[in-house]
Amino acid sequence: MIFYEITNPVKDQADYYDSKASKNKKKALLFLGIGLSMLGIGFWYTTMVLYISAFLIILGIGELMSYELLKNKSLTYFYGYLGENKLKDFLLKNLSNEYTAYFGVPIPKLGDIDCLLVGPNGIFVIEAKNYKGNLFFKKGHLYRTKITNRGKRYTEVLYKPKTQVEKGIEFIKNIIKKQVPIRGIIVFTNKKAIAKFPKTFRLSKTPWIGACKIDDLIKIIFELPENLSSEELLEINETIKEKFLK
């Protein structure tokens, strides 16, 4: 497979929040260190020193709380980045050079397409999700069932991936401007994901949007008819490169 990395917004966001978290941690340690040092001195000197030390300790605790929030946000993006890398490695291993993949295709004001795959079977707008747990769809929404440390089961709504993929399909249609099959696939890349839906699950027929675990992705692609010639593939890839790589 031939591939191009146009942007990598997930990694950029992970690095951004990780950098902010590191700065907050340094501030927290500085404020707490000075505040605690002054606290010991304050008992022997003035009340004012005690007030200042308490103020610095409060600032330090606030910075520490901000650090935790920012670090968790960074990790969320980082796990998403790992999922996209798993998808890239999997496609590289299983597809020939008849296929071309574009990673991080930007959609103005709407984010990006994780992977745009072009091959004899058509064009695929692929959304990679690195979620784990029991996953299922209901009315287009993605849900996850989890169990707490205390053994309590609960269900959370993650997001509505169908809408996200639909926007990606519409965006690519407006760029290609040809009557070619453009399909969407939501791929779960985490080995610990338990899919509570069939291997060839379809979220919608128009546009064609499916969902699968990563091990079933190639099967889905190869089962579709090869209706694009090498000349058409060349033209489509040139259009995409002209738009995003020049």
1 within some domain: no
pLDDT at 42 over 60: no
**In this structure, are 73 and 119 located in the same domain?**
no
**In this structure, are 65 and 31 located in the same domain?**
yes
Number of independent structural domains in the chain: 2
pLDDT of residue 200: 64
124 within some domain: yes
For the chain, what percent of residues have pLDDT higher than 70?
96
Structural domain including 175 reads 98-244
What number is the average pLDDT over the span 71-91? 92
**In this structure, are 171 and 218 located in the same domain?**
yes
What number is the average pLDDT over the span 53-61? 90
**In this structure, are 51 and 128 located in the same domain?**
no
**In this structure, are 85 and 205 located in the same domain?**
no
pLDDT of residue 45: 63
pLDDT band at 51; cut points 50, 70, 90: confident
**In this structure, are 68 and 135 located in the same domain?**
no
Query: In CATH, what number is assigned to the domain containing residue 104?
Result: 3.40.1350
Q: What is the pTM of this model?
A: 0.83
End-of-domain residue from the set 63, 94, 125: 94
3-class DSSP string for the chain: CEEEECCCHHHHHHHHHHHHHHHHHHHHHHHHHHHHHHHHHHCCCCHHHHHHHHHHHHHHHHHHHHHHHHHHHHHHHHHHHHHHHHHHHHHHHHCCCCCEEEEEEEECCCEEEEEEEEECCEEEEEEEECCCEEEEEECCEEEEEEECCCCCEEEEEEECHHHHHHHHHHHHHHHHCCCCCEEEEEEECCCCEEECCCCCEEEECCCCEEEEEHHHHHHHHHHCCCCCCHHHHHHHHHHHHHHHCC
**In this structure, are 78 and 143 located in the same domain?**
no
- pLDDT tens readout for residues 136-162: 888 778 888 877 777 788 888 887 777
**In this structure, are 129 and 18 located in the same domain?**
no
